[in-house]
A and B are shown apart, each in its own frame.
Chain A
């Protein structure tokens, strides 16, 4: 890969903070230069991915220069994995609430605004709470962790998430002894999520999207509640304002735009399992030995920096490489049957 000086490009949709950093005069000056070059039309009307052109094989890393979250980097997760560029993380999404095509969420979430928001934590807890939009960023100290995200469709990314561990939240509310599972539910609002309104757009999933973890999985220090990525608040397509990230499970377990968390004593229903139980199990642990009925899970296409032909196919690791953290959770479970 070439090591040219890193050009910093902030996708215009990312945040408003870039404009605060650039004085208005300089900002206008730049626009004038761009318009002189006849570039404004192009640079303002096309999405961020444009700047990371597909045939741009020597594509420079585009990282936002301004982070709007007060987050500290957890070096424990700074592995050797190369991060997936921001432009790709924000334009290649599975979020059927915004449409089934990978580019639908970034297009349909353009006007998404997570404020106001309420997240309730209830059920078998000592102290049920309701968090508002601002609370999500303030209630706990935020940290950044680089996690591998392995999609059940056999592609993967590496993403620096900002947030806090679910265990922190659960300890805050106090988990009752009777609680055996944690049930999650995406916000149900067809006015915000067109896929919930229109069955054809939403891919036939029964909404609201629901997910679940065992209490042991939920309390595992890896299990993360993300409110941002790359140091910035999440965009709609990535599950704003708050989502789950369970790095040793297939991506569909990491439910987005959560409105409700309930501590329960029975295994809760989960959306993809309801839709096709022979294809998607409750556990959905990343497992190269157990194929999806319609494709192999032995390897994955890692989406990294660079163009179309710089992608690599790499072997998939058991528990997505997080076995030392989680393998003991499944010692007495047949993972072939409980996929």
Chain B
């Protein structure tokens, strides 16, 4: 099965619209004041949650493309991945800006002291590298290393659920569902994952 160029363009448009809607929705809620007396926690969690959902969708693309022989879809992975990175950035910015109120010292202290925060920060650091190396010029320049670097997304898929569950006062159903989905997507790639781990071992 193959989508026509025109159909595929529409899929792309829909993807952009879908990825921007959460941001607009959050903004609308803020302007209307429907998020309660102190929306800070909500904003932080909302951005984090959207980032997790986008991560799941990003990682769903290649299995779907394989299963349904829709090779074109792989082109969408970069866009989705970058949206995931955008929401992860908003997640951290809202924590730093709205919760810690730009207290840099406190931010650094918390980053170094709290396991769930440095686990999340590590995932974000990896995502940053992936985002930068997804720029076409850089991608071309690093050639075959690109795939090796981007295999680190598997580490992100483990760190993110850990960060999510660890950050909660009591474990939520959402955290469990997202974690299971990410684990399933990892298991689905167990072959590649084997190679990835074996490669790391060889290098060590």
Contact = CB atoms under 8 A, between A and B. Distances in A.
Nearest to B42: A102
Contact of A53 (B31, B40, B100, B171): B31
Given A54-B33, A55-B30, A296 B106 contact: yes
B170 A54 contact: no
A299 B114 contact: no
A87 interface: yes
Contacts, number: 100
In the complex, which range does the number of interface residues on chain A fall in? Answer: 35 or more
B33 A106 contact: no
A47 B114 contact: no
B36 A92 contact: yes
Contact of B33 (A46, A100, A200): A46
Interface stretch (A2-10, A23-31, A306-314): A306-314
Contacts of A296: 106, 109-110, 113
B33 A89 contact: no
Interface string A278-309: 00000000000001001110110101000010
Nearest to A312: B101
B30 A54 contact: yes
Contact of B114 (A295, A301, A311): A295
A106 B110 contact: no
A158 to B, nearest CB: 13
B169 interface: yes
A275 interface: yes
Nearest to B31: A55
B34 A299 contact: no
A49 B170 contact: no
B120 to A, nearest CB: 12
B202 interface: no
A51 interface: yes
A87 B38 CA distance: 10
A132 interface: no
B170 A303 contact: no
Contacts of B101: 301, 311-313
A308 B98 contact: yes
Residue among B34, B36, B42, B103 having the largest count of chain A Cβ atoms under 10 Å = B36
Interface string B23-65: 0000000111111111111100000000000000000000000
B34 A49 contact: yes
Given A295-B114, A313-B103, A103 B36 contact: yes
Given A295-B114, A296-B109, A102 B36 contact: yes
B111 to A, nearest CB: 11
Given A50-B33, A308-B30, A308-B98, A88 B170 contact: no
A123 to B, nearest CB: 30
A316 to B, nearest CB: 12
Interface string A80-108: 00001101111110001000111100100
Nearest to A103: B36
A84 B38 CA distance: 11
A241 B86 CA distance: 45
B188 interface: no
Contacts of B35: 49, 54, 103
Interface string B82-103: 0000000000000000111101
A100 B34 contact: no
B3 to A, nearest CB: 39
Interface in B147-169: 166-167, 169
25 contacts: A46-B33, A49-B33, A50-B32, A52-B33, A52-B37, A54-B30, A54-B33, A54-B39, A55-B30, A88-B36, A96-B170, A101-B42, A102-B41, A103-B34, A155-B40, A203-B170, A204-B170, A205-B170, A294-B116, A294-B167, A296-B113, A301-B40, A308-B39, A308-B40, A311-B40
Closest 7 CB pairs between A and B? A88-B37, A92-B37, A103-B36, A91-B36, A203-B170, A91-B37, A92-B38
Interface of A: 46-47, 49-56, 84-85, 87-92, 96, 100-103, 106, 153, 155, 200, 203-205, 275-276, 291, 294-296, 298-299, 301, 303, 308, 311-313
